[in-house]
Amino acid sequence: MKRWGVLLCVLFLMLAGCDGGGGDDDGSTEALAVPEYDLAGCWEVNEQPECEGNIVPDAELGTLEVDYRESFDASLGELEAEYVSAGPTRIRQTGNVLNLTDTDTGRQISGTIVGDLVRYDDTEDILGVAGTAEAEGTALSANLLALTHTYEFSADGFYGAVVCELRTKRIVGAPESCIEAEAGVPIE
């Protein structure tokens, strides 16, 4: 989603899923625990999350690490602020399956809720920097999710990860434009 785009753009300029589980190899599947909550609705991050990250240069770039490490650390603050300023996320739920839509871009991600455990992941390739984003956490109530977002990336010359701890809250009285919009359609 666009939150990761900010970080990847900074990284690129500085330097030039779900595991598919749900079954055993023998083809049998286990029943998933019934979701404890219906998460359908619009959600937002309204408290700045805590993000930590690391970036590691290839061996031949090791002496340049100091040059871009400070810029990388500074970009984490921008990423934290981006979570709060981003548009809402629309969640549609069918049983254990979640469909999340970034209302700013219309980008969709699939996920699951099993009991109170929430999980979703995505892959992105922004400006040639490949990355995998994964979120895991707990539905603390029908209106509050505690999530850990992990983003791992790599490109020629470096690799790294960013981990953000955040709380996502249901938007009480969310506008109809968020709740009723067609799946994958950004809010205008």
Q: What is the mean pLDDT of the chain?
A: 78
Residue 29 has pLDDT above 70, yes or no: no
Burial pattern 2-11, b for ≥16 Cβ within 10 A else e, equals ebbeebbebb
Q: What percent of the chain has pLDDT over 90?
A: 40
DSSP single-letter state for residue 1: -
Dump pLDDT digits (tens) for 122-147: 987 654 567 898 999 999 999 999 99
Report the distance separating Cα 136 and Cα 112, nearest Å: 10
Dump pLDDT digits (tens) for 75-97: 788 888 888 999 999 999 999 99
Report the distance separating Cα 82 and Cα 56, nearest Å: 24
Residue 145's Cβ-side half-sphere holds a number of Cα atoms within 13 Å equal to: 29
| Helical (H) or strand (E) element with 68 | helix 65-85
Rounded mean pLDDT, 148-170: 88
Residue extents of the structural domains in the chain: 2-14+50-173
